[in-house]
Structure 1
C-alpha cells in the first residue's frame, strides 16, 4: 500500500468512525526502517531499546487529540492548544528538552491553489515525534515512503530533518510551474490574447506574493531549529537544516525573480497595447483631418439655398470633384512633409 493510499484510507476510516486521530504511525528501528504501530499501542508507548523512536502522524481536528497530548505526553495545556489550533504562522520554540514547531507546505490538494498553504504542527522530545495536520499534506507521505522502503530517517532529529527537506523541496514544483507559464507567455508574444495573458500574470503575481508572505516566516522557524533545538538534535541534523534553509533562501529568491519577470511582461504587454492604441488614434486623427476641409466644402456647396454660382452648369459636379481631389493631394503633401505618417 502506497503512502497516499494509506493516508486516504486512514482519513476515510477516521472520518466515518471518528475512533482515533491516528493517520499512520511508525516505530523507527534506527537503521532507516520502521514497523507499523496502531493507536492502541501508541498510547503509553515506551522504547524497547535505545534506537527506537516513535513517530505518530495525527489529524488534529479529530476529537480527543488535545486531551491525549496533555495526558499521555505531558504537554502543557497552552502548548497542546497551539498544536491543535488553526494558528498556522510558521514558528519554532523549545520547552526544556522538547521542540515545538509550526511549518507550512504547498497545498497540492484537488481544487486548491499552491498559495493555499497547508500547516503541520510538530512536537518532539527526542524519543517521540508527533506531527499534526488538518488537511492532507504530501510531506509526511514522502518521509513515510522512505521509512517503508528501509532508507528513511534513523532518529528523531533525522526525521524532523526529512520532513522539513521534503516540505521545502515541494516549493520547487510551484516555482517551476510559474516560470514555465511566464516562458510560455513570453514565447507567445503579441499574438496571445491580451486579457487572458494579463489574467495569468495577475494570478502568478498573487501566487508569488502569497508564497513569499507565507514562506518568509518559515525561514526564521528553521533557523531557530538549526540554532536552538535541544541537544538530542545532533550536529549533522543542524547541518542538514542549514542546507534546507539555504535551499529555501534560493527558492524565495526565485519567487522574487518570477514576480519581477511577471511584472516586466505585464509592463511590456501594456506598453504594446498603449502603442497600438496610439497608432490607431493617430490614424483616426489623420483621416478626420483629411476629410475635414472636404466635408466643409461639400457641405457648403450642398446647401439647399438659392444663389450658388454655376449650380446649373453641366461641368459643375466635375469641377467640385476636381477641387476636392486637389485639396486632398495638397493635404497629403503637407502631411508627408510634416512627417505625420
Structure 2
C-alpha cells in the first residue's frame, strides 16, 4: 500500500513527490496523501501510522457510501462521487473519500477515478496552496468530467425525439431506456453531492478560505444544475417511453383492424363453402354442372360487397 500511495508536498503551490512517512512528518506545508485501494493494510496504516481517529478511518474505508459531509474535530470528512473507468457493483459513479484538516488532506478510492488524474495534473501546475484548493479541485474535476456525459444524454434523447417512427420503435425504446437508466444513476448521487458541497462551504474553520468557500459554492451550484438537467432528462425519457408505447399500441390496433376486416370478409365465404363442403346427400344443385361456377361467383359478389361496405364506412382509414 505504501508503494502505491501518491503523496505530494506543496511548497508555495509547487508540488513535490514524497514518501508516506515523510508526508506524515511535514509541518507547515500542505500535504496530500492519496490511497488508491481499501484493504486491511490501508486501514492499519491509517490507524497506526497516520494516527487518525477510528471514526475517520471507518468513514475513509467504508464499503457502502453516499455523498455527504461531516465536521469532526478540527477537520471535515467529505464523500464525493465521480466517473470511474470501471463501474462498481453496477453503479455508474465511484466514490472518493476525503479527510481534510489544516495542512493535510487524505483521499481514498476503491476504483480509479478520472477526477483523481485531473487533480494530479492541476497539482503539478502549481495551482493548489491549501486544503480548500485541493477539495475545490476535486469538486470541479468531478463536475467537469460529468458535464459532457450529461450533455450527451440530452443529445441522445433529442435525436430520439427527431427520429420517432413506427418502424424504429424497438430501437428507440432501447436507446430511451438506456438514457433513462443513466440519468437516474447519475442523479441519485448528484443531488446529495450538491448538499455535501454546500455544507462544507458553510463549515467553520480557518483551513477553508473565503475564496475556497466561493469555489465550493460554485461547484455545488454546478452539481445542482446537472441534477436539474438529469431530472429533466428522466422526465423526458418517461414521456418518450409513453409516446413509443402509444405508437406501438396504435400499430397493434391497426394490424388488428386489418386482421378483423380480413376475417369479416371471409366469414360469409367460409360459411357457404363449409355448407357445400359437407359430405351429405340432397345438397341443392349439387349435381348441376354449373353449381361450382355459381357458388364461386356468389362468393366473389359477397366479398366485393363486404369490402365496398367497409370502404364506405371508412374502416380502412381508421
Matched, 1:58 2:30: no
1:312 counterpart residue number: 287
Among 48, 68, 82, the residue aligned to 1:105: 82
1:4 counterpart residue number: none
Matched, 1:28 2:10: yes
Matched, 1:125 2:68: no
1:237–1:129 CA distance, 2 compared to 1 (3 A) = same
8 Å contact kept, 2:166–2:251 = no
Q: Secondary structure at the match of 2:6?
A: strand
Q: Secondary structure at the match of 2:5?
A: strand
1:45 counterpart residue number: 26
Question: 1:71-94, CA deviations, whole angstroms, 9 ceiling, x for partnerless residues?
Answer: 454422222222122241221112
Contiguous gaps of at least 5 residues in structure 1: 1-17
Give me the whole-angstrom Cα distance separating, in 2, the residues matched to 1:194 and 1:187. Answer: 13
Which aligned runs of 4 or more in structure 1 are off by greater than 6 angstroms?
A: 111-114
1:115–1:255 CA distance, 2 compared to 1 (3 A) = farther
Give me the whole-angstrom Cα distance separating, in 2, the residues matched to 1:327 and 1:285. Answer: 17
1:175–1:182 CA distance, 2 compared to 1 (3 A) = same
- Map 1:1-341 onto structure 2 (within 5 A): 18=1, 20=2, 22-31=4-13, 33-47=14-28, 52-109=29-86, 115-150=91-126, 152-190=127-165, 193-341=168-316
1:12 counterpart residue number: none
1:67–1:332 CA distance, 2 compared to 1 (3 A) = closer
Contiguous gaps of at least 5 residues in structure 2: none
8 Å contact kept, 1:70–1:76 = yes
Q: Number of residue pairs matched? A: 316
Q: Secondary structure at the match of 1:108?
A: strand
8 Å contact kept, 1:21–1:62 = no
8 Å contact kept, 2:24–2:50 = no
Question: 1:251-310, CA deviations, whole angstroms, 9 ceiling, x for partnerless residues?
Answer: 001111211222222122211111111111101111111111111112222323222233
Give me the whole-angstrom Cα distance separating, in 2, the residues matched to 1:313 and 1:77. Answer: 105
Shift of 1:21: 6.0
Moved more, 281-290 or 177-186: 177-186
Question: 1:205-256, CA deviations, whole angstroms, 9 ceiling, x for partnerless residues?
Answer: 2222222222222122111101114222011111111111110111001111
Q: Secondary structure at the match of 1:312?
A: coil
Q: What is the TM-score normalised by the length of structure 2?
A: 0.90
Q: Secondary structure at the match of 1:46?
A: coil
Q: Secondary structure at the match of 2:287?
A: coil
1:196–1:337 CA distance, 2 compared to 1 (3 A) = closer
Q: Secondary structure at the match of 1:306?
A: coil
1:87–1:326 CA distance, 2 compared to 1 (3 A) = closer
Q: What is the TM-score normalised by the length of structure 1?
A: 0.84
